[in-house]
Amino acid sequence: MALFLSEADVRQLLTMDLALEAVEAAHAAHGINRAIDIARQRTRTPTASLHILQGALLDEGVIGYKAYTIARAGKRFMVHLFDAASGTPLAAIEADFLGMMRTGAAGGVAAKVLSRPESAVVGLIGAGWQAQSQLEALCRVRPIRQVKLYARDAEKRHLASADFSSRCGVEVIPVETAEAAVRDCDIVVTITAAATPLFEGKWLAAGTHVNAAGSNALIRREIDEETVARAAVVCVDSRPTALREAGDLLPALEKGRLAEGQLVELGEIVAGIRPGRPNAEAITLFESQGMAIQDLAVGVRLLKLAQQQGLGAELPY
């Protein structure tokens, strides 16, 4: 019978190390055409919206989807897994924490293959829940020693700095401006809902890697055209999804300053099909929109752990 995993079950089982391994494996499979991913579909009404990501991991034997709703009452996330051979339901998983962790893990995998190995200083723009997992993942893949955190709300940036420092065991300094956060960093992360660019590309030092993780709609932008122009590598999780959703890239694409063929998929780099960072001085950019296969990869691992540990509740189908 299929298993239901609650948020409490997921929190008990899911670690960042598991999320990193799962997401990297999913992208490696995608890079060699052993995964299927369908760009996000959205249904909107005046009061709520439904978002669906679907796909399959062929070598994991799983097919499924993540569905989430957004309304004034809040957000709800669910991942559904099915056996890819028989279509039998395998699991229904509450996926708020799961989604946060897999998004952070995607940034961690991108930093692992695109940032300089010695990267130690992070500029973090954003102080929300998602920013926490971005930093946690970076600390797993790089020797991070200092983080400069900026958020418009002074109270939030001070509270988040103290919280993130305690959680990740690194120095997190609240700074007064986005420029102070970005300058002289090895890695810059943006994880906001901004509609206009958060910093100027000219502030980036040579060799910086940028993870832009908040812009998953054409009306959102976190980075400016100069950042895109300066990037020697523009990496995306999925070209079809980026072309539909990456508001950061739209101006350059529309003006012909960036071509679809220049977009490198993360899975292609992970699988060794296309090169990543060309040299130590290059600026690299990862645009994260999110993929179903990331959720499926984490979900199937959680299901196995839950079965081993006797967690979850059986569903009547």
The 10s digit of each residue's pLDDT in 278-287 is 999 999 999 9
Closest CA to 213 of 205, 203, 221, 201: 221
CA distance 68 to 229: 34
What's the CATH architecture for 107-290?
A: 3-Layer(aba) Sandwich (3.40)
Please say if the pLDDT value at position 246 is more than 80: yes
Sheet containing 89-94, strands listed edge to edge, beginning at the edge strand earlier in sequence: 35-44, 48-57, 62-71, 74-83, 89-94, 3-5, 313-314
Q: What is the pLDDT of residue 215?
A: 73
CATH fold for the domain made of 3-99+293-314 = ornithine cyclodeaminase, domain 1 (3.30.1780)
pLDDT at position 197, please?
92
Asked if the domains at 3-99+293-314 and 107-290 fall in one CATH topology, the answer is: no
pLDDT of residue 250: 87
pLDDT the model gives residue 95: 98
pTM of the full structure: 0.95
Domain regions of the chain by residue span: 3-99+293-314, 107-290
